[in-house]
Chains A and B, each alone.
Chain A
Amino acid sequence: MMWAAVLVAAVGCYLLKLGGLSVPPRVLERPLVERIADLIPVALLSALVAVQVVARGHDLVLDARAAGLAAAVVLLVVRAPFLVVVFGAALVAALVRML
């Protein structure tokens, strides 16, 4: 299943890129399409953060992952680089688990 998903994502994402270079602009260049396309990453990434940090199966739980996310927020506020944010969050979560 995982390989199928990898291939679906690969073919689909490539066609989305090629489509943009190939279709006449007037087909897709509309304000509504642009607004939705601007908001889709915001909505999906927000949902991914929430589900990743709070969901466990069908339950919502606050555990070490939430502590890791709090650390990530602090690091982003002080404009830390990407890897520092990611591994800083991992470190804090690991430390909380050791307590």
Chain B
Amino acid sequence: MGVATGAYGVGFGAVSVAAGLSVAQTCALSLLVFTGASQFALVGVVAAGGAPLSGALTALLLGTRNTLYGLRMAPLLAWTGWRRALGAQVLIDESTAMSVTRDSVPAARLAFTWTGGAVFVLWNLATVGGALAGNALGDPRTYGLDAAVGAAFLALLWPRLHTGWHRWVGALAAAVALGVVPLVPAGVPVLAAAGVALVAGALSRGRPEEGR
């Protein structure tokens, strides 16, 4: 997992400066936002010419995932006060996955703290490395780094397309986004695609859970 985190972090750093963010802004995202898909989304919207605030809104929509992780982790961690406030920052995919299966509060806290802490350190170091390397390369188009942004999103998306239903929703969302590209300001097409998730979620009521 450390290697995977390092790789994502380097990729994020490089893609972020290719999108036009400064090294300081890139590092601030990894330190403060600290949830990979949201960070990628923000820089992706900016790279496509969208307003930075549309990027932030897209990042927030993707960040709602962590709220659901929190619901699951709250009784397991049983933290209050400053520990909860501190722990919340490292509430992400990895720390949840590693601690959600523990059967006692101390074991869950231990797994959560170590996984969250290790990923936080690695992710930020890798981001700095990727951002400095991307900055040193210069114009991203020369090296095809603009194409790398799309590839990074596809790699994040790939494991989520685990059922036919998810693939349909993905295809429809892409079609809706491209359909409105000529009509609305950059950044908005991606937000419009969130509507597909809302409608599909509402319509899939009673649908049996396909294997995850």
Task: List B contacts of A10 (CB < 8 A).
Answer: 28-29, 32-33
Which chain B residues border A51 with CB–CB below 8 Å?
44, 48, 177-178, 181, 186, 189-190
CA distance A25 to B63 in the complex (A): 18
- 6 tightest CB-CB pairs across the interface, nearest first? A20-B70, A68-B147, A93-B144, A89-B151, A47-B193, A5-B52
Known: A2-B52, A51-B177. Is A17-B91 also a contact (CB below 8 A)? yes
B204 contacts A68, C-beta separation under 8 Å = no
Indicate with 1 or 0, residue by residue over B34-69, a CB within 8 angstroms of chain A CB atoms.
Answer: 110111111011111101110110111111111111
**A35 engages B201 (CB within 8 Å):** yes
On chain A, the residues within 8 Å of B153 by CB distance are 45, 48-49, 52
| Docked complex Cα distance between A14 and B29 (Å) | 12
Q: Most A CB atoms within 10 A — which of B22, B60, B79, B157? A: B157
Q: Check B71 for interface membership: any CB of A closer than 8 A.
A: yes
CA distance A31 to B202 in the complex (A): 10
B-binding residues in A (CB < 8 A) = 1-10, 12-14, 16-23, 25, 28-29, 31-55, 57-60, 64-65, 67-69, 71-73, 76, 81-83, 85-97
Q: In terms of DSSP, what is the predominant structure of the interface of chain B? A: helix
Residue numbers in B under 8 Å from A89 (CB-CB)? 144, 147-148, 150-151
Distance, CA A72 to CA B156, complexed state (A): 12
Select one of A45, A58, A67, A69 contacting B181, CB under 8 A. Answer: A58
Whether B155 and A86, one on each chain, are in contact in the complex, defined by CB atoms closer than 8 angstroms, is: yes
For residue A59, give the distance in angstroms from its CB to the closest CB of chain B: 7
- Residues of chain A within 8 A (CB-CB) of B51 are 1
Known: A18-B84, A20-B66, A39-B166. A9 touches B193 (CB 8 A): no
A21 touches B70 (CB 8 A): yes
Asked whether A72 lies within 8 Å of B150 as measured between CB atoms, the reply is yes
Q: Taking the nearest CB of chain A, how far is it from the CB of B81, in angstroms?
A: 11
> Which residues does chain A contribute within 8 Å of B4, judged by CB atoms?
81-82
- Assess whether A29 is in contact with B147, with CB atoms less than 8 Å apart: no
Render B6-45 as a binary contact track against A, CB cut-off 8 A, 1 for contact. Answer: 0110110011000001100100110011110111111011
